[in-house]
């Protein structure tokens, strides 16, 4: 078989088989761009166009964070700092010469009777101040070079980014120039080689140099926690664990359709994966689909439901809790509940109800002196309380008003023993089907039951109260919600309070107190009617105010302690399939599940 040959430039025959058999591919071939072309004002780097700039002029005063708008531009760029220390004695000699020159010029102008020159006088003062600080080692001098390299897809985009960059700097009296005929040197200078090949320096002392510190973008990330979203300032991740703050409470304010339920469901799902229990009070049954997806329990609270909650339930006292305090606190809460149920109580009726409640428990041997271990076996129901009222003087009106809850249409819900248990990691109480007039009462009862369970079995939990303004419609409801928010920290509980009706929520005297006792706040898109209220509550800047007015779905401001960032909430495809609130998507997923069951 013949072996093919070809000749090189010197005429030497080389075996073609050996040429193509050589391993000529290395790591440089993989990472190098396919083409590099250098012109006077840019570099063609494969499919990208690269252009380098240097800063050559700064104003007399420069503010901290002046570089932040450039760093946070949503464009790829390299920024290089070169800081070369200068010998202080050399600088002092130059300053001495300069101050002599300026001083002579001032004296000369004075002798000639010329009007004063403010610029010359300011220059003299600045030089003298700098001399004093360098002499006393308060300041040091440096030669500072700052170079920027932009990467864009085409010349038009590059030109637009350059205009934006110039406008950012020139608005601060800082001026940049492209490195004409030195694009190669500029590009290499902004690579991580530590090579200053442009050598365009500006003398700068310590104070203004410190304002150039680049790592000033708002950041909200910790070593552990769940992903809340993407930081719109710098595209970093907002990772946070709410239980690391002084309290784990959170408030969420947003208009309808802004993505608040989606955001909270995403947080719930991610905390469930952390092994943290979540309880939801759901006024619109929005969380039922999520409950099915994660294997939780959904309790439908309505007059026709099989789910019953006894308002007279008591928590088991903890090791450090006084049974007398538990009983007294429960009676006070029950008075608040009855005040809502009966449409208010006079001072005399309030006293009668308090006495009747104490007697109702006492008849069942539930007193401060009895053994708390026997309490759960003897819990009374509402009809037991009604019997006590009927036997008391002056309680006729109360007994009459209470009858519809013990014998009438409402008795199937209000006059029953509790028949549910919160023994799963995810629990939802849906109250959509409860009559609107009874919804505040049902909310109060559900919250009391949840609170009793939390106090009995202490573990890390999150309680989500959606559309909390329903509960704040009454003074007693608002007071109870605030009590849970304030005391939850002792029981390892974080309360999430959600509302779209900010004005109604803030009408309650407890509304602002709930915000004050919540270390986390999430503000999504707001309506023009409520934005001024939000601005006053959270001390928003005009820019933040406009951000909330113009925000897209799932975008807003996230506050954690003293920090806050602009956030964009993102979910993976799998998470989206579990938490979606889009009716069309939910129906498709349900249909797919039905077909899967039929095939099985």
Q: Are residues 396 and 409 in the same domain?
A: yes
Q: Are residues 257 and 134 in the same domain?
A: no
Nearest to 55 by CA among 190, 193, 233: 190
Structure-token pair, residue 206: 């310590």
> Is 204 in a helix, a strand, or coil?
strand
**pLDDT in single tens digits along all 600 residues of the chain:** 344 444 454 445 555 555 455 556 677 777 788 888 999 999 998 889 999 999 999 987 787 778 878 887 778 899 999 998 888 887 778 878 887 888 887 887 777 777 777 877 787 787 788 788 777 777 888 899 999 999 999 999 999 999 999 999 998 899 999 999 999 999 999 999 999 999 999 988 888 888 887 765 566 667 778 999 988 877 788 888 899 888 999 999 988 888 888 999 999 999 999 999 999 999 888 898 899 889 999 999 988 888 889 989 888 877 677 888 888 888 988 998 888 888 888 889 889 999 999 999 999 888 888 888 888 888 999 999 999 988 888 888 888 888 888 887 788 888 889 988 888 999 999 988 888 888 888 888 898 899 988 988 888 999 999 888 777 777 878 888 888 999 988 889 999 999 887 777 777 778 888 888 998 999 999 888 888 888 888 888 787 888 898 888 889 999 887 778 889 999 988 888 888 766 666 677 667 767 766 776
- The pLDDT value given to residue 177: 94
Say how many domains are in the chain.
Answer: 4
Within a domain: 16: no
- Containing 92, the helix (H) or strand (E) segment is helix 88-111
Q: Are residues 359 and 495 in the same domain?
A: no
Rounded to 5 degrees, φ, ψ at 84 are -110, 115
Q: Are residues 360 and 260 in the same domain?
A: no
- The pLDDT value given to residue 275: 92
Rounded to 5 degrees, φ, ψ at 223 are -70, -25
CATH number for the domain that contains residue 348 = 1.10.8.730
Q: Are residues 406 and 377 in the same domain?
A: yes
Q: Are residues 103 and 172 in the same domain?
A: no
Q: Are residues 205 and 64 in the same domain?
A: yes
Nearest to 81 by CA among 96, 91, 93, 70: 70
Within a domain: 19: no
Q: Are residues 153 and 114 in the same domain?
A: no
User: How many CA within 13 A on the CB side of residue 329?
Assistant: 17
Within a domain: 115: yes
Domain residues for 159?
33-84+140-216
Instruction: Report which DSSP code applies to 45.
Output: E
CA distance 164 to 334: 63
């Amino acid at each position: 078989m013949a072996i093919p040959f070809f000749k090189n430039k010197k005429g030497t025959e080389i075996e073609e088989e050996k040429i193509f058999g050589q391993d000529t591919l290395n790591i440089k071939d993989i990472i190098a761009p396919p083409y590099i072309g250098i012109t006077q004002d840019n570099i063609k780097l494969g499919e990208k166009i690269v252009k380098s700039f240097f800063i050559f002029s700064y104003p007399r005063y420069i503010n901290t964070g002046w570089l932040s708008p450039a760093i946070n531009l949503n464009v790829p760029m390299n920024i290089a700092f070169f800081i070369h220390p200068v010998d202080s004695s050399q600088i002092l000699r130059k300053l001495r010469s300069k101050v002599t020159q300026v001083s002579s010029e001032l004296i000369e102008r004075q002798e000639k009777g010329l009007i004063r020159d403010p610029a010359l006088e300011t220059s003299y003062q600045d030089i003298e101040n700098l001399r004093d600080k360098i002499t006393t080692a308060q300041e040091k001098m440096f030669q500072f070079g700052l170079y920027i390299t932009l990467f864009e897809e085409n010349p038009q985009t590059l030109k637009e980014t350059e205009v934006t960059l110039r406008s950012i700097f020139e608005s601060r009296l800082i001026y940049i120039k492209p490195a004409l005929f030195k694009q190669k040197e500029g590009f290499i200078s902004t690579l991580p080689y530590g090579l200053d090949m442009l050598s365009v320096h500006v003398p700068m002392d310590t104070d203004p140099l410190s304002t150039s510190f680049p790592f000033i973008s708002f950041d909200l990330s910790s070593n552990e926690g769940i992903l809340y979203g993407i930081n719109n300032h710098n595209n970093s991740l907002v990772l946070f664990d709410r239980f690391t703050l002084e309290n784990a409470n959170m408030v969420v304010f947003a208009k309808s359709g802004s993505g608040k339920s989606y955001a909270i469901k995403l947080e719930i799902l991610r905390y469930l994966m952390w092994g943290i229990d979540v309880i939801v009070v759901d006024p619109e049954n929005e969380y039922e689909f999520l409950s099915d997806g994660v294997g939780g329990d959904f309790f439908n609270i309505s007059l026709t439901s099989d789910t019953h909650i006894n308002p007279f339930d008591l928590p088991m006292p903890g090791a450090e809790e006084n049974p007398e305090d538990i009983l007294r606190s429960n009676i006070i809460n029950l008075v608040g509940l009855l005040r809502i149920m009966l449409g208010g109580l006079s001072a005399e009726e309030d006293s009668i109800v308090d006495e009747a409640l104490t007697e109702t428990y006492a008849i069942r041997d539930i007193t401060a002196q009895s053994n708390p271990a026997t309490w759960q076996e003897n819990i009374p129901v509402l009809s037991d309380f009604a019997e006590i009222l009927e036997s008391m003087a002056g309680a006729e009106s109360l007994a009459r008003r209470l009858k519809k809850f013990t014998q009438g249409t409402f008795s199937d819900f209000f006059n029953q023993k509790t028949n549910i248990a919160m023994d799963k990691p995810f629990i939802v109480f849906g109250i959509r089907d409860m009559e609107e007039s009874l919804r505040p009462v049902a909310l109060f009862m559900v919250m009391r039951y949840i609170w009793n369970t939390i106090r009995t079995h202490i573990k890390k939990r999150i309680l989500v109260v959606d559309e909390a303004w329903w509960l704040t419609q009454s003074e007693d409801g608002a007071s109870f919600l605030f009590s849970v928010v304030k005391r939850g920290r002792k029981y390892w509980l974080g309360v999430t309070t959600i509302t779209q009706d900010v004005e109604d929520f803030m009408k309650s005297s407890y509304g602002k107190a709930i915000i004050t006792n919540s270390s986390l706040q999430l503000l999504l898109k707001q309506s023009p009617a409520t934005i001024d209220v939000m601005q006053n509550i959270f001390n928003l800047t005009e820019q933040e105010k406009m951000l909330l007015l113009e925000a897209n779905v799932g975008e807003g401001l996230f506050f954690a302690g003293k920090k806050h960032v602009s956030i964009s909430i993102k979910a993976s495809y799998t998470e989206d399939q579990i938490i979606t609130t889009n009716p069309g998507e939910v129906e498709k997923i349900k249909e797919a599940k039905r077909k899967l069951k039929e095939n099985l």
